Amino acid sequence: MSMQSHLAELERRHAALERKIESAHLHPSTDSLELTDMKRQKLKLKDEIERIRKDETLH
């Protein structure tokens, strides 16, 4: 997998998690631990995306 396609996949997963989190906020029955886990996953994806972009600018 090329770095660009990997980056695109990470961005797709990040956006999907964002939509899922927004949807969860609309449902008061959402488990707070599940919501926290989704936010943590989203942050990890964001960090990975930023790391890749930084590496690309250095090369």
* Separation CA 34–CA 36 (nearest Å): 5
Burial of 45 (0-12, 13-18, 19+ CB in 10 A): buried
Q: What is the pLDDT of residue 24?
A: 92
Stretch 45-53: mean pLDDT:
96
Helix (H, G, I), strand (E, B) or coil at 50: helix
Q: What is the pLDDT of residue 57?
A: 85
Query: 56 near 3, Cβ under 8 Å?
Result: yes
Q: Is the pLDDT of residue 1 over 70?
A: no
pLDDT digits (tens, 9 = 90+) for 2-45: 889 999 999 999 999 999 999 999 988 889 999 999 999 999 99
CB atoms within 10 A of CB 35: 15
